[in-house]
Structure 1
């Protein structure tokens, strides 16, 4: 059922991952001003002539982001028409369009009005939500037509704990984005100590970096607690069990990649991988949030 829509939704989800990685590449290589302060033109040209490498990186990100924006709008309309009878579809479709448009406006604003750290951090945070909405629409497409969809029976306390975990994780995304956009990635050398200190304080770039470390460790602890709860009480709910397992693998990978960023002097591959994993973690938590919010069978 919906074979073409399934293929299209998967391609769009993969495309969103590519856009996210391109954004991380733009940030890591300092290519945000690769087209000057003009948008949608690049140095006043439709296609830049004799572009520098920074211009190529920024311009290709603009092109791919624009294409994905139209693809997401098409996906939202298509899912609304084909699987609009599913409870979550219309909400996710509206959110997908809203956040991809908002993300584009933030990117354009950052170019035209200057590379504000707060705006750039918000841009990355919104991209994580955009990815999650597209992924959830894709999940809904694959769920349609099944006799039973995942609707696990969980306690109200567990449901609220999931809500807290995804909200806190989203806040941590912003601390990581601020680390990147305030050039604080290497402000703390070594791990677990920061410049040889257990507590370096919260002032300046060192404080931004150290705050993100604490926030990241807290997310790991929260996911570990969640995993223990699920193994103890919800092993009989396969979607909750495996969703939590996948989320914990992602948070473990996030911690490892974060430490690798420090010890490899923020090598490009490690930094981009770090940005990718946190977005995949957020999408996984968004899926868990969606299924536990359903009325149990």
Structure 2
């Protein structure tokens, strides 16, 4: 598995190495951002095709590094349950997801190693070591290294605990958080590479409002991501098959206690009984209605950031992706959960994470004393 991870990572590392970009470290960070976005989208595809247990052990597949070697065991499981969780196709989907995750882990290790090497070398060769240390900060990539270890642990528990909803939800939320952390790091590298233009004094007051709204948007989006992950991990997406009503009512019969009990098996209550449909309705209903809060808060953020120089492009993209999220969310219900639209809905959520992170970083940077 380690060799496979190195082989997967060798492709983006080689692309960075041979690129003509003068700042290869910055390029490495943004390549990691791009691949993490891809990993989130492919992770959604893995979950939505019920491939999460395509290989029912971890980190390998029936103890092997790839489904080729585990061919006999996979075919035996598939013959017993042709439409079950273990098939050759699902095994490959699950393992490709793991390979990509391990490859990103190698990239983060490379980022951490380069940062520490530059930091030690810079401190020995620089007269103003304190200023250099502020510019080259190995602490952040080191934090990313430990964070991806935590993410990997949740990935392992997702499999070993048989898709228990709390672990599936945690795995998705941590994946989105990793994307945000990497994008923040990328923003910092962009700033060091080429400073953004100053904001005008007339925009200073608006920038303050943007910072508050952008921070609030991050919190609101995080809550919605957790609710969406909880909806998906409990297979509650089609608990309501109409919009804006659900089961013919704006407020249908719901069981919030069972639906939002965090520690329980998939499809079961905490007592081990089958989860009632009213619990799935509650999960879906909360995610659907909290989307209105997301639209209002993120919409206000985009509106305030739109005319600010350095934030306008990101604000326009937030507005566009937000509109697309509304469309894919409703279309998922009306078209009976089509795979392409459902994956697109997850991709839109990741895009919002990326865009909001950049707005938060840029607003913070533009509001720094040197830019007043």
TM range (shorter): 0.7 to 0.9
Instruction: List gaps (5 residues or longer) in structure 2.
Output: 1-20, 75-87, 120-131, 256-278
The more displaced of 273-282 and 217-226 is 217-226
Could you tell me the TM-score, scaled by structure 2's length? 0.71
Partner Cα distance (2:165, 2:48) in 1: 14
Match of 1:183 in 2: 235
Partner Cα distance (2:136, 2:241) in 1: 45
Contact persistence 1:80–1:93 (CA under 8 A): no
Instruction: Quickly say closer, same or farther: Cα 1:276–1:79, change in 2 above 3 A.
Output: farther
Render the CA deviation track for 1:111-147: whole Å, top value 9, x for unaligned.
1233210111011001001112222222332332324
Partner Cα distance (1:256, 1:79) in 2: 42
Partner Cα distance (2:290, 2:222) in 1: 11
Partner Cα distance (2:313, 2:134) in 1: 23
1:220 partnered with 2:256: no
Match of 1:195 in 2: 247
Deviation at 1:61, TM superposition (A): 0.9
Instruction: Quickly say closer, same or farther: Cα 1:105–1:21, change in 2 above 3 A.
Output: same
Instruction: Quickly say closer, same or farther: Cα 1:82–1:287, change in 2 above 3 A.
Output: farther
What RMSD, in angstroms, separates the aligned Cα atoms of the two structures?
Answer: 2.5
Render the CA deviation track for 1:242-262: whole Å, top value 9, x for unaligned.
322222222111111111111
Contact persistence 2:23–2:193 (CA under 8 A): no
Render the CA deviation track for 1:159-189: whole Å, top value 9, x for unaligned.
3332221111101101000110101011111
Match of 2:191 in 1: 143
Contact persistence 1:150–1:291 (CA under 8 A): no
Instruction: Quickly say closer, same or farther: Cα 1:79–1:216, change in 2 above 3 A.
Output: farther
Deviation at 1:218, TM superposition (A): 1.3
Match of 2:153 in 1: 105
Partner Cα distance (2:300, 2:136) in 1: 28
Contact persistence 1:186–1:262 (CA under 8 A): yes
Partner Cα distance (2:117, 2:318) in 1: 31
Could you tell me the TM-score, scaled by structure 1's length? 0.88
Structure having the higher Rg: 2
Aligned length, in residue pairs: 292
Contact persistence 1:120–1:181 (CA under 8 A): yes
Match of 1:63 in 2: 99
1:260 partnered with 2:334: no
Partner Cα distance (1:65, 1:41) in 2: 13
Instruction: Quickly say closer, same or farther: Cα 1:248–1:98, change in 2 above 3 A.
Output: farther
Contact persistence 1:32–1:111 (CA under 8 A): yes
Partner Cα distance (1:108, 1:5) in 2: 30
The more displaced of 262-271 and 193-202 is 193-202
Match of 1:153 in 2: 204
Paired residue secondary structure (2:193)? coil
Contact persistence 1:202–1:211 (CA under 8 A): no
Paired residue secondary structure (2:296)? helix
Partner Cα distance (2:214, 2:195) in 1: 26
The more displaced of 135-144 and 174-183 is 135-144
Render the CA deviation track for 1:229-254: whole Å, top value 9, x for unaligned.
345xxx2x222333222222221111
Partner Cα distance (2:26, 2:360) in 1: 22
Contact persistence 2:115–2:137 (CA under 8 A): yes
Partner Cα distance (1:274, 1:264) in 2: 13
- The structure 1 segments of at least 4 consecutive aligned residues displaced by more than 4 Å after TM superposition are 79-92, 147-152, 154-158
Instruction: List gaps (5 residues or longer) in structure 1.
Output: none
